[in-house]
Structure 1
Amino acid sequence: MDTIRSYAAWLLWLWLLGHSDGVLRWTTGKDRSEDTDGGTLRRSKRGWMWNQFFLQEEYMGTEKQYIGKLQSDLDKGDGSVQYILSGEGAGSIFTIEESTGNLHAIKRLDREEKGQYMLRVRAQNKITRQPIEPETEFVVKIHDINDNAPTFTKELYTAGVLEMSPVGTSVTQVTAIDADDSTYGTSAKLVYSLLEGQPYFSVDPETGIIRTALPNLDREKLASYKIVIKAKDMAGQIGGLYSSATVSITLQDVNDNPPRFPQSLSEFSALEATEVGYLVGKVNAIDADVGRNAEVTYSIVEGDGLDMFKITTETATQGGVITVKKPLDYEKKKSYTLKVQAENTYPDPRFLWGDSAKDSTTVRITVRDVDEPPIFEQASYIMEVKEDVAVGTAVGSVTASDHDAIRNPVRYSINRHRDLDRLFSVDPVNGSIFTQKPLDREEAVWHNISVIATELSSQRQNSEASVYIRLLDVNDNAPSFPFLYEAHICEGIKGGQVILNVSATDADAPPGGHKFSFTLDSESAVRTNFSVRDNKDNTASILTRHGGFSRLQKRNYQIPVVITDGDYPRQSSTNTLVVHVCPCDRYYNVESCNLEALSQSAGLSTAALVAILLCIVILLTTVVLFTALRRQRKKEPLIFSKDDVRDNIVSYNDEGGGEEDTQAFDIGTLRHPEAVEESKTRRDIVPEALYLPARCAAAAPARDNADVRNFINQRVHDNDSNPTAPPYDSLATYAYEGSGSIADSLSSLGSASTEGDQDYDYLSEWGPRFRKLAEMYGGEDCRRYS
């Protein structure tokens, strides 16, 4: 509704400007009385029809700005009237044309500096200098434009809210101020919104009050949040100016976690000679809360040792200390079983009630005979060591002794169940504890180990002491940006403008707090374009060194910022933030740069992708050519030598490549025919009965070559029946020489085929060898073997 009213007022003002001539005139009034002698009427007064002008601020033109016209109704336009201007800014800001009365502004005005000017005008005779009209006062009002962005009263807000608060709980309120005119238009009408912090928090758009937006915010999962609030003028409309502020919200603890024992059974032992009040052992229930909400009360609720032991809370560690209440007698009872219960000292009934607010564990205490184990001088030890010490550095020492009369020597060892990472070792003789591995405080501040003291003469006589080792911080981490910073600037930005505020984070924890310093990398090429201003509060501002950036020259700048901490030894790192140069409208609002920056950051450019694809194509082409050449060089000859002739069986079942089709068989399989499964049936042909070899003429040699015939027949049958054989013409080579063949090698050509007779003339080069074979088996009839 306010926006509609403002828009209507603006239209009304434009209508007035359009329906007025912008002229300020003196007018003639008439006296109602007449002279007694019937004379003419006399002028009795002059007045203003419109005694104010309007001028828009921040005029950017090169010529002087026309405001309006001052004119007397006595001015006949013959140049006899002269107008004289006086008052605020006359001559320096405003000028008047003496002969015409045209009023001009010669300077750019800022409404935030001065909202209106009081001026006076006098009309006089140009020759006699006598006034023809009395001096009259009028006002020039400066109309506001939206030239000021809202600013927050603080750069960083801090607030706290209880965890588990209901939705809508007020956290804090942020306030922004706009220097523009709040009584006119929407230039100073602010709307608050949330840039970062969803879905955990929300902000009231009118009041700036931040509230919780999710139920059951749990401090134990996330203890603090950083949210960013934006304030935009013009009631949040497009074209409005805005600024942002960071709010650091800390969740305050409530007692919503009961204590929990890490183990269901704890075992301790006590000598029968133990004095009343002596420590038997400790149990520790862990509570995820902090402070008062983590305080625990222990009690023994069940067991056969209710009257023999008691348990109290150790204030420093919030552990349960079990001590002897009455003297123990080994001969009467050798062990006790207790049920120890832990509950919060100050429970919150909103979250904890009944058994859910409690936890219990079983404690088994064994009473040992009079032979007492070694006793440590302290029940527990606290030691400190710097995190950067070398391996083998002494941390401290423990001392235990045997109080028995024999005074057995004691040997020390570490309970590895409490030191699983084996960070420490102990000297078995003097109890000195040493570092065994490098330590890092950023991984763990405290290390809890147990040192076992054992009598040398009896391994059963031992006792344990807890050793709490605290790692002291050493400045071994360099500060860095908490996240990747990006900024967008307009091409027409001025020099010296703050474009971004940055901060730093550091894993170290110096006693006096962090003290960061920010500088620009001395060797960076962007020093001529940007500068870094250290704000001395662990933040820095990035500023432009000049104006007039051009996206045609460069769209993105990478600014290396060197961050140095204040502890010893100093650590520093160079962190880079990205500045995008963007096109903006006349109100310095970024128009489309966000989409361009997103496309650039989302992946490679088109040119880069084309170059990568071209490289891949060239690489694949090179590999293919190399493989083809290598195969051509390494292709096996059909016959290696005279002594290495393989019998070949050629099977034609389709229109294949003929004699030159040498790629249609697997030479590896043919060289190892036993690998072919005989039980399988070939699916691409229907095997026919093989021709049996005909009896040759009596002229054949008398030697028996049945093994050769059997071998050839078997291989032909295997080849025709093989389901893995290729469905095209193939050349099968068999590495069988026979024994004492006078023909050097023996080949048998022939296979069953479903497609009739084939032409075997292409095998004429093998004619001499078959003729030898024919002579061996009795003449030309032996061609049936082919």
Structure 2
Amino acid sequence: MGKLSLLQLIVSIMVALALAHDTGNDTMNKREKRELLVRSKRRWVLSTIELVEEDPGPFPKIGTQIFNDRTPMLKNNYQFRISGTGVTEEPIGVFSIGDTDGVVYVHKSIDRETYPIFHINFDIMDKETGNPVDRTLGFDVAIKDINDNAPYFENLVTKASVKESLPEGYLPVPLTARDRDEANTENSTISLRVLSQEPAEPQINLKQVEGTKMSQLTFTGCFDYDKVKMYKVVVEAKDHGKPALSSTAVVNLHIMDSNTHQPVFKNKTYNTQVMEMESNREILRVAVTDADTPNTPAWRAVYSIVKGNEEGNYKIETDPKTNEGILTVIKGKDFEKTTVTNVEIAVENEEPLFVCGSGGPNSPKTLTALPQTVNVAVKVIDVNDPPEFDKKVVNVYVKEEEVTGMLLYTPKVTDVDSDVGKIRYELVEDPAGWVSIDNKTGAVTTVKKMDRESPHVNKDNIYTILIHAIDDGKPPATATCTILVHLGDINDNIPSLVEKELVLCGNKVIVPVEDKDKPPFGCPCSFSLGVDNGDKTLKSHWKLDPANGMEAGLVSLKTLPYGNYTVPLVILDQQGQEAHDIVQVIVCDCGKGDKCRASLPRSSSLGSAAIGLLMAGLLLLLLLLLFLLLCECGGKTFTHLPLNLQEEGNQTLIKYNEEAGGSACKGEPMLILTPTTPNREVIDGMKQATPGIPFIQKTNEMTQETNEMYRTTGRTIVTQVSSSGEGGFSGGGTFQRMGEAYGTLRSQGGRGMYQTTSRNNTMRSNSSRYSRLLSNQHISEHIDRKLYMIGDEVDYQPYGYGYEGTGSKCQSLDELSLNNLDNNLDFLGDLGSKFNTLGGICQQDMQEKNIRL
């Protein structure tokens, strides 16, 4: 049974192991791999490498040798390699290794302070494949230290300033020494000591500060600035190495002067004098000597008054430049009470005095030495004392607007040096000129009513008056008294508007009011609308809300057009005193502000009204033109002249630059006959401007003048001018000129032509037709003069010529042959549009006058 149970137990364990193997196969595999990477048998063999810094050699020297247990299997087919610090990294060239024997060589000395440790890597490589045979072996080589560095100070020379009054103990000079050798060894352990000092007193030592590597100088005794001003201390730092190394540093101590000497007065006593009641004046300067350094707190003096200034009449200050004491009287001394004052002055320095005793400084309080003092005798010189008012400031209470002549104040004056009866009084300050003063009694009375609201009265309702009392001494002395007149208020002012012109932006505007009187005579006030003088719209437009207080609210009851409005107001103060005032209200567009907006910039566009006015003006101008045309031409028919009788230059263009060839010969002179009027009578300047028309001033008469008739060969011209009028020529007169001509237009035979031309002209002053008439008259006058003198022209007299052969063939156009034209005038039916227009006008004129061609 026992064996059976043991067998069952074994089987159960095997089954459990199988299941565990199946479920944890991956985990076991990973674990086995990890164990294979971590747990392995050491194959490298390396002896200890010991290197000492600054090894003198000789080099190369063997440092160590390494082995690997896989080398037998490679049968010399391997190679050792070395890398790391000293080989492939700085400092390069320190180590090397034999390829097959694994001997490590050292080639030069090493400075531990520069490279305290070397990290070296060893490898073994297969020569054929170049692959590593085993893992890399890393090895750290520590360099052994030797005492090759001496301690050193951070500063070879240290300067420090020490006050002469410094108590014995530590000096403000910390010292620190360092060593580059390996820490926490005897090579880097340092000891400091004072090697020497100059001078030897007081004794200076070194003491290490607990908890630090710093040491500090100490001293016992006292420094004396007057004897020694600088100390030189040599300090040594030494390590504990073998052999021990050391270095030194120098400490220069500069001694600063302190207050070791008391200031001493140059004189033992001083005397001075001051005028009676004189104040704020320098009366004496006292000087001291001090052996300490000038312009230092140990030298600068501080003065004080120890005795004789119980009433505070004097003060003493130090002159910073001379170190003297300045004694000044600040409050006058009365000669009648004191003639001489003894003032005791003491002097000290700004810095407390010290004395070195029993090896250390002691405060002056523990010594018997006291501050230096000196006595000053101040003599008071008698002068004329001024009068004295019993009250220098007097308060007087009166009401404003009191009757003039009221007595305000009569002063009481005393004078110890002069007769009171000989004192005179003067009014010094009376800005409003309200009072007067009696020169003998000093009585102050009013000469004008005093107004509380005057600008000369301050905000406390006080009017200030100053008076002087002057005695008859030599020189005269003066006393001053101030009279403060407190003015009580009465209801002597009515309310008034602060601003008489207000801007209404909405429907309400605040109307502020002021009353110079104080309550209960001034505001708050009551407001109401004034009398509208029959205008019933005032109360329908405005109301007051609120109507009581320091200001009223003026409310518009309806929307008002923009403009200015006058609103009368009645204002009552608390006593019912009535004031009538008018406020101007400006109703305008304020935008978002509380003031009227500025005018918009002018625009170049026209409104409908402007456009309408412009069109109306244009229509009116057209109507005026049409009216003038009707007045000029209405009811009358325009008479057209035949083309051959129209005047040259009248409504036509005159060509002046024709240069065509003219006739080569002249059959007879062309005579342009125009009437002349000899013995003409000129009435005035207007008549003189129209010489072609004679004027005779007659009333309701018709004057007719027949001009001289000129006859030439084959031509007769008669010109008749008739004019009617009163008082000469007038702007509205009518002229008619008729001309009849009989003659032959051809020089040799031909067809006669009779033409009668009539023209009616209506002339107005300053018109274009009047101007043309003047021009025609000037031309007519010129032609008349030429015709009048033609009889005297030699060129036109009969003249005999010698026979020169056949005469000219072009004396006349009648000799031209027109046979080739066969009298065919059909071409005249189609002369163009311009001629057709002209022909139509002439045809119309001839039809109206029944003229037949």
| TM-score (normalised: structure 2) | 0.31
Q: Which has the higher contact order (CA 8 A, sep 6+)?
A: 1
* Structure whose CA Rg is larger: 2
TM-score by length of 1: 0.34
